[in-house]
Every structure is written in C-alpha cells, then in structure tokens.
Amino acid sequence: MSEVISMSGQIQSDRTEQREPACSHDWPSRDVRTQSERQRIGRILSGKREEYAWFVNTYSHEVLSFTLQLVPDVEDAREVAQDAFVKAFRSLASFEFRSSFCTWVCRIAYHESMSRLRRQQPHYVDMAEIPAMMDGEELSTGREERIALMEEAIDDLSPDEQMLLHLYYYEDRPLREIAYIMDAEPNALATRLHRIRKKLLQMIKQKENE
C-alpha cells in the first residue's frame, strides 16, 4: 500500500501539469481502456500490488480535479482523493467494470466528499429537497450582467448542485455516467437539472432586484 499512501505527493506535482483529463470518454476508446485496466487489475489481484501505482499516477490528477469541485480546500480535497484511491484498492476485487476505473474512483470520491461536507455542514440540504420552481421560464444569458449574476448564483448553490452542473454542462458527461457517480437514477437527475435551472432563475431575479 506504500504506492497509495504516498499519493498526496504525486497529486501535488500533477496539479502543475497541463494534460488531457484521464477520465475523458474518448481517451483512449473505452473498450481498449477497459481491457487494459482489467488486465492490470487481474495482475494486482494475483499479487503484483505495485502495479496499482499505475492507476494512481494515471488518474490522480483527474480525481483531484473532480474532488476540488466539491471540496474547495486543496488539502481536504487531496485527503479525500487519497482516501478514495485507498478504498478503491481495498475493494478492487469487487470492481465490476460497469465504468472505467477512473469513473469508479470518482464515484467513491463523490461519496467521500459528501460525507465530509455533511459533517462540516450539519444543516446541509440535499438538492432532491428543493421544490420545483415555476414552469415556463428560462434562464437568459444574453446580457453580460446577467451572465455575471448567473455565475454568482451558481456559487451560492450547494456543492451537490454545483457538481451536477459541472459534470453535465462543463464535462459534458452523459446522464447515465453522472447517475453512476452520484448514485442516482438518470431520470431523477434530469428532473434535478430542471429544478436547478428554475432555482438559478429565481436567484438571478432576486439579485437583479437588490
């Protein structure tokens, strides 16, 4: 486990590099990547534990970037990412290849992040509890001032809501993959996205009237 425990240093150095996200849907093709990962995991489970360092070196940057969307403190995010890799290592035999390894670790990191946030914020409200806003209204970003207000409103959303927006709109992940990471149903996430848009609209209008 020394390769995993020393991961924090690797993550720190990775943050200075500019490279393509390791979890990208087309890098490499999913079939090729899954086959390669399956073979490596088979060797790890057969006793070559040192090969787990490849997963840490390959995916630590992406997992940390993902975690920072939920946990803004860099040191806390690094701890969460490291814990996620350790948990993944301990659960490696149960990995079912329903996703790439990186997506699986991000799923673990998501739940670790939410557990930490709930401990820090005991009154945290899950986004499923947000009531639906009025139907028939859309966000308009035609004016620069409204774009700025929308950015402010997004900053006021819960970490869970921000993560959903980030995965869907910025990383362009399909709902089925986001559902896997966030342990939710795709249809439920589609409804949540609609609620968030309504909530943002209301927040923007409030800011415009201030």
Give pLDDT tens digits along the chain (210 positions): 544 444 444 444 343 333 334 465 444 456 667 788 899 999 999 999 999 999 999 999 999 999 988 887 899 999 999 999 999 999 999 998 888 899 999 999 999 988 887 776 543 333 443 333 333 444 444 556 767 777 788 888 888 888 888 888 877 888 888 988 888 888 899 999 989 988 888 888 887 777
Which residues of 28-147 form beta strands (DSSP E)? none
Q: Which amino acid is at 17?
A: E
Q: What pLDDT is stored for residue 54 in this prediction?
A: 93
Q: How far apart are CA 165 and CA 170, in angstroms?
A: 7
Residue of 77, 54, 37 lying closest to 3 (CA atoms)? 54
- The answer to whether the beta carbons of residues 110 and 70 sit under 8 Å apart is yes
Q: What pLDDT is stored for residue 18 in this prediction?
A: 35
- The answer to whether the beta carbons of residues 28 and 107 sit under 8 Å apart is no
Q: What pLDDT is stored for residue 158 in this prediction?
A: 85
Q: What pLDDT is stored for residue 121 in this prediction?
A: 55
Q: How far apart are CA 121 and CA 152, in angstroms?
A: 21
Residue of 17, 103, 3 lying closest to 95 (CA atoms)? 103
Q: What pLDDT is stored for residue 152 in this prediction?
A: 82
Per the document, the length of the chain is 210
Residue of 93, 87, 78, 94 lying closest to 1 (CA atoms)? 87
